[in-house]
Amino acid sequence: MKIVVIQGPNLNMLGVREQNIYGPMKLEQIHAQMKDVATQNGVEIEFFQSNLEGEMVDKIQECYGEANGIIINAAAYTHTSIAIRDAITAVNLPTIEVHISNIHRREEFRKDNMIAPVCTSSVVGFGPFGYHLAMMGMLQIMSEMKAAQEMQAEQASGEAK
């Protein structure tokens, strides 16, 4: 099983930018914690960060057939990108959206969310811990998918007899 974590614009500046909103943790520290959880659960994890919308779309598309789930913080593109929304829809993978801050309590323009309707779930406002919550959610989704596949295989083998 493989999870791809896609980080959007300015998240490479975590720990530097607006610490009063995003906290002091750097992106590398968040990724290290996620990698530990993945390793403990026997799941492969890949990290990607870009400030460019098209590169994020490309990465989402690369997940098709290569990954079992996506955790994404589209950052500012959350509020503007139909392209990212369409890419998430196209690959049809479980996708959990993460936002470090509570976007619903911030500026009015941040309340518009283009990608939430096509994501499996959203984790909002828990700071960097939101990534841990997203990992737990994705591991649960993957476990349920595996159980469903096993049940289908058992049913198919029972019908074949």
The half-sphere exposure of 12 on its side-chain side, counting CA atoms within 13 A, is: 8
Does the active-site annotation cover 99? yes
Of the candidates 108, 120, 32, 143, which has an alpha carbon nearest to the alpha carbon of residue 72? Answer: 120
Report the alpha-carbon distance of residue 147 to residue 92 in Å, rounded.
19
Active-site hit among 22, 79, 104, 132: 22
Active-site hit among 31, 79, 99, 132: 99
Structure tokens at 36: 């530990």
For residue 159, count CB atoms less than 10 angstroms from its CB and return exposed for 0-12, middle for 13-18, buried for 19 or more: exposed
Measured in residues, the chain has a length of 161
Does the active-site annotation cover 22? yes
**Active-site residue list:** 22, 99
